Amino acid sequence: MERRRLTSSICSLHLTDDPTGPSDWFHQLSAARKIRRVLVSVVIPVKDDVRVSNCLASIRANRPDGDQLEILVVDNNSVPDFSNWLQSLQPAAAVIAETGLGAYGARNAGIERAAGDVVMFTDADCTVRPDWIASALAALVETKADIVQGFSGNAEPPIKIARLIQQRYAARFRSLRFGEGTECDTRNLAVRREVFERIRFNPDYRRVGDTEFGLKAESMGFRVAYSSEMYVAHSHDEALDVFVAKQVCHGWGAQRLNVFDPKITWRGAYLRPRTRITPAVGRLPGVRGFGRGLASASIVAARGLQAVHRPAPGFIASAALAVLDKIALLGGQLMFYPESPEPSVSELLGRQVLRD
C-alpha cells in the first residue's frame, strides 16, 4: 500500500513544473526536465510486427503531460511495406530507421536518440499497464536503484500454451520481493541515463544481451532492483517448439558469458551452479554433440507436448515443460564453443520463424 501511495504521489509530482519528491535524484530529474522538457524516453525495437500499434497505444495512455514522454520506435530492417506503415505512426512516435543491427543494436540506436533522464524498454508484442511509467519512477526513487526490472504477465490467459509458457517465465520471480536484485530483461526495463554513459548493449548478441548488460552494470557498481508493480502484458509464442528453441539459444548465450566473462555472478538458481560445472564438462570429448542431441530431443518433445497438451492435466503439462526448459538450456550450454556462430531459432527448428 505504501508503494502505491508513492506511485500516486510521483504521478502527480511529474505533472507539475516544479515537482518536489522524496529524493535528491528526483530533484535532479526535475532540473534536467526544465532544460530538455523530456523526462522519460521509451525505446521499442520492431521488425515486421503490427502488434507495435497496440504497444504504442498503451504507452501513450501513460503520457504524464505533453512532451514529458518521448517514444522511439526503432525499425530493425523490416520489409519495405511495414517500414512505410511505421512512418505513418509519426508524430505520435519517432521512427528511427536502422538496417541489420539486430535487436540490441536497435536498442542502442534508440539510446543514442533518447533525451530522457530515464530510458525505458519494452517490446512490440507487449502492452503496458496504465501506471507503468509512474511505477518505474516510484521504484527508482524508493529503491535508489539505477536499473529497475519489471514483471511481464500473460496477454492471452485463456490460451493454455500461453499459460504454460507464462508459468516458466514467472518461476524466476516467484520468490523475489520488491527492491531485490535480479537479471535484466528488456521486455520491461527502466534505466537511469547515467548507466548508458558507461555501458551499452552488446550489438553482436542475438540473445542474452540484456542479461549481460545487467550483470556487467552490477559489476560496475550500479544497482538493479525488481518491481512487480511495473507491469507489461506479453503475447507469448503459439508453438512450444519455438519457446524451447529459444531456451536452447539462451543456454548457448549464457555459456558464452560464462566463458568470456568468468567473473560474472549469475543470480538465477538454475544457472548459478551450472557456471561452475559446464566449463570443465565442455572440455570432454563429444560433449557438443551430446548438447546438440539434448537440444534436438527437447524440441521434438515440445512438439509432442503441443499435440497432447489440451487433454493433459494442467499440472502434468506444466511439469513436462519445466523439464524441457531445463534440458534445452543445458543442451544450449553444452553446444557452445568459442569459435561457433550463435544459433538462431529458425536454424534449430528447420523453418523460418518471424522476428527470429
Q: Which domains does the chain have, with CATH numbers?
A: 2-234 (3.90.550.10), 240-349 (no CATH)
Distance CA 351, CA 356 (A): 11
- Which has the higher per-residue pLDDT, 155 or 276? 155
Question: Does the pLDDT value for residue 84 go beyond 70?
Answer: yes
Spatial distance between the Cα atoms of 344 and 287, rounded to a whole number of angstroms: 20
Read off the amino acid at residue 243: F
pLDDT of residue 23: 41
**Per-residue pLDDT, 33:** 42
Alpha-carbon gap, residue 194 to 354, rounded angstroms: 34
Per-residue model confidence as pLDDT tens digits over 214-245 = 999 999 999 999 999 999 999 998 899 999 99
Residue 116 is predicted with a pLDDT of 93
Phi first, then psi, for residue 260 (nearest 5°) are -85, -20
Cis ω for the linkage preceding 80 (within 30 of 0): no
Of the listed ranges 10-19, 35-44, 58-67, the least confidently predicted one is 10-19
Q: Residue 276: what pLDDT?
A: 57
Query: Which segment, 66-70, 285-289, 314-318, 341-345, is predicted with the most confidence on average?
Result: 341-345
Residues contacting residue 171 through CB under 8 Å, at least 6 positions apart: 322
Per the structure block, which three cell numbers stand in for 159? 490460451
**Helix (H/G/I), strand (E/B), else coil: 264:** coil
The single residue listed with the C-alpha cell 526544465 is 34
Distance, in Å, from the CA atom of 251 to the CA atom of 325, rounded to the nearest integer, reads 10
The average confidence (pLDDT) of the chain is: 85
Q: Distance between CA atoms of 275 and 97, rounded to whole angstroms?
A: 38
Starting at the edge strand that comes first in sequence, how are the strands of the sheet with 126-128 ordered? 94-98, 69-76, 40-46, 118-122, 188-192, 147-154, 224-234, 126-128
Confidence of residue 272 (pLDDT cuts 50, 70, 90): low
**pLDDT above 80 for 283:** no
Residue 68 is classified by DSSP as G
* Grid cell in block for residue 183: 537479471
Strands, E, within 77-162: which ranges? Answer: 94-98, 118-122, 126-128, 147-154
118 neighbors 193 (Cβ within 8 angstroms):
yes
289-337: pLDDT as tens digits: 999 999 999 999 999 999 988 777 788 999 999 999 999 999 999 999 8
The b/e string for 56-69 (b: 16+ C-beta within 10 A; e otherwise) is bebbeebebeeebb
